Structure 1
Amino acid sequence: MLRGLYTAAAGMMTQQRIHDTVTQNIANINTPGYKEVNSVSRSFPEVLIGLVNGDNGQSNAQIGKLNTGVFAEESLPSFVEGTITNTDKASDFAIISNINVVKNGQNIPFDASGKYVDAQGNITYQPQAFFTVQDDQGQIRYTRDGSFHLDSQGQLVTSAGYLVLDTNNKPIVPNAPIDQLTVDGQGQFFDGQGNPTGQQMLISVVNNPNFLIREGNGVYSVNNPSQAGVQALQPGQEAEVRQRSLESSNVDPAQSMTDLMTALRAYEANSKVVQYYDKSLDKAVNELGRV
């Protein structure tokens, strides 16, 4: 009897985590560069139920398999590009990224989620481009939130105060007011006369973005850059920096509300099962136990 109780309880915990994940996505709908997170649920291993006969020499009669519930194993981000909107603010930047991967002389046809599975089941993820920033501990981080501004020292920083780095891994310090500078598609700065200032944004490409670790404030870290395939943007790769624009979050409000209601209904259904087992156990202990 208790197997069903444990299964229903596992279902409640799984739906609670899905609910929390979707709520986080909805709360960040208006966060520039935010990438939605999807909770992945997996089932516990099935067990084989058998009838024990109790007699020597007799084999157990197999009844069938029993599924013992599900659990929310992990949360995976979706790096699908959000809508690029014009802000007309000189310190706002967006990355338009559609980096191709060539295999057997042809571009890999990635699906809408940025993934490709070949006939042998091998998975290839589409590389993603990021602004390269530095936190207050001097550690390298990556972000798609391009809502930058100048701090009190004239350094270009993110909305969370992280330093925006150039191709020399140095903080970008514009030599003129930011509204007098222009930035081309490669992230190179030009003054009001169109002369290069000598600084260029460091755009990093992560070949396997699933190795990115979300840290909050719209930034990601990588424990092993070589494993994730982190490298500077190479000539010919389809990634462009656009000034006076921001990338909105890639959260779909309609789908998020649907997922939220689905998780709520599933949670309620599992809670009803728990209540049923609670009443059954109450009868077994307080009523049948008296006989």
Structure 2
Amino acid sequence: MVRSLWTAATGMNAQQTNVDTIANNLANVNTVGYKTQVAQFKSLLYQTLQTATTTANGDPKPTSSQVGLGVRNSSINSIFTQGSFLASNGDASFAIEGEGFFAIQGSDGNTYYTRNGDFTWATNGRNGGLILTNQDGLPVLSTTGRTITLNNNYVTSRITITNDGTICYPDANNNPQSLNMTIGMYQFNNPGGLVRKGSTLWETSPASGEALNEATNRNLTRSKMVQGYLEGSNVQVADEMVNLIIAQRAYEMNSKAITTTDEMMQTANNLKR
């Protein structure tokens, strides 16, 4: 009977993690570039009560007797489906149509990746001029892995971006001309292996593989960049509410198993009376 107490307790712990994951999805339903997460489960060890032997008549038993010891969370997977496009009034707002990621230089000097294209042109500190950054002030990188900087002669509201990320500025005849700088877009063999670093940033890992530069890798299907839009969260509220109800019911059932086991133990203890 005690075994069932611990087994049901593992179920409650696993469903609590499931509810935490769903709550995080719902909390980020309006977060630009957020990708929904799904909790996965796996069974714990099985205890063998009786191995495959023979019956009293000498006939072999086809199966052994094993009892499970509960469940645990095996992983929390990110789902990288395309989010809906949201119109934005920002001059440096970009949405990616495809599988690409923007590259961001972190404060520690490492490169991180994001689908959040809510950028802004900021002053470049002591060096003067302008630099393209995300909302946290971290520089956006080009296809060559460098920060995207302009001098003070440019008006940010007149800067345009082509579908491949090329930065353009109008000439005297108001025709957009390339500034020989392109916003970098990168892909991964296994995006699910990326490690979340917060603020919709991801870091590469051995599971994700190295970042593949779309500008130099001809085997990739190029992503398209759309100026004036942002990619919204891909969280499906209706699905998350259904999953929340299922997780709640599973939690209640495991709680009921603990209550039932406690009542059975109490009955056994009262047999001597």
User: Is TM (by shorter chain) over 0.5?
Assistant: yes
Partners of 1:282 and 1:171 lie apart in 2 by 69
Per-residue displacement from partner, 1:140-174 (whole Å, max 9, x unpaired)? 00000000112342321112322101122221123
| Match for residue 210 of structure 1 among 192, 215, 232 | 192
Q: Shift of the alpha carbon at 1:70? A: 1.4
Q: Shift of the alpha carbon at 1:270? A: 0.7
Q: Secondary structure at the match of 1:75?
A: strand
Counterpart residue identity of residue 92, structure 1: S
Partners of 1:142 and 1:172 lie apart in 2 by 16
The 5-angstrom pairing of residues 63-74 of structure 1 reads: 64-74=65-75
Q: Shift of the alpha carbon at 1:84? A: 1.6
Q: Report whether the alignment pairs 1:277 with 2:261.
A: yes
Give the 3 Å change call, closer, same or farther, for CA 167–66 of structure 1 in structure 2.
same
Per-residue displacement from partner, 1:177-215 (whole Å, max 9, x unpaired)? 322100001111000231111211111111211221111
Structure 2 counterpart of 1:113: none
Q: Shift of the alpha carbon at 1:11? A: 0.7
Percent of pairs with identical residues: 29
Counterpart residue identity of residue 80, structure 2: F
Q: Secondary structure at the match of 1:35?
A: coil
Partners of 1:63 and 1:80 lie apart in 2 by 43
Partners of 1:88 and 1:265 lie apart in 2 by 43
Counterpart residue identity of residue 2, structure 1: V
Per-residue displacement from partner, 1:235-280 (whole Å, max 9, x unpaired)? 5723111111110111100000110111111101111111222233
Partners of 1:2 and 1:157 lie apart in 2 by 57
| Match for residue 116 of structure 2 among 140, 145, 166 | 145
Give the 3 Å change call, closer, same or farther, for CA 64–197 of structure 1 in structure 2.
same
Structure 2 counterpart of 1:237: 221
- 2:80–2:192 CA contact under 8 A, matched in 1: no
Q: Shift of the alpha carbon at 1:96? A: 0.4
Q: Secondary structure at the match of 1:155?
A: strand
- 2:185–2:213 CA contact under 8 A, matched in 1: yes
Q: Secondary structure at the match of 2:86?
A: strand
Per-residue displacement from partner, 1:80-112 (whole Å, max 9, x unpaired)? 111122224221001100xxxxxxxxxxxxxxx
Q: Secondary structure at the match of 2:257?
A: helix
Partners of 1:245 and 1:76 lie apart in 2 by 27
Q: Report whether the alignment pairs 1:174 with 2:156.
A: no
Give the 3 Å change call, closer, same or farther, for CA 204–63 of structure 1 in structure 2.
closer
Partners of 1:172 and 1:185 lie apart in 2 by 17
Unpaired runs of 5+ residues, structure 2, are: 52-57, 125-129
- 1:25–1:37 CA contact under 8 A, matched in 2: yes
- 2:107–2:138 CA contact under 8 A, matched in 1: yes
Q: Secondary structure at the match of 1:275?
A: helix
Q: Secondary structure at the match of 2:179?
A: strand
Structure 2 counterpart of 1:112: none
Unpaired runs of 5+ residues, structure 1, are: 52-57, 98-127
Counterpart residue identity of residue 166, structure 2: Q
Partners of 1:252 and 1:9 lie apart in 2 by 30
Partners of 2:118 and 2:150 lie apart in 1 by 16
Structure 1 counterpart of 2:26: 26
* Count of aligned pairs: 253
Partners of 1:186 and 1:172 lie apart in 2 by 15
Partners of 2:257 and 2:32 lie apart in 1 by 41
Q: Secondary structure at the match of 2:150?
A: coil
Partners of 1:161 and 1:73 lie apart in 2 by 35
Counterpart residue identity of residue 201, structure 1: I
Q: Shift of the alpha carbon at 1:24? A: 0.4
- 2:91–2:120 CA contact under 8 A, matched in 1: no
- 1:208–1:229 CA contact under 8 A, matched in 2: no
Q: Secondary structure at the match of 1:81?
A: coil
Q: Secondary structure at the match of 1:157?
A: strand
After the TM superposition, list the runs of 4 or more consecutive aligned residues in structure 1 that deviate by more than 4 angstroms. none
- 1:93–1:244 CA contact under 8 A, matched in 2: yes
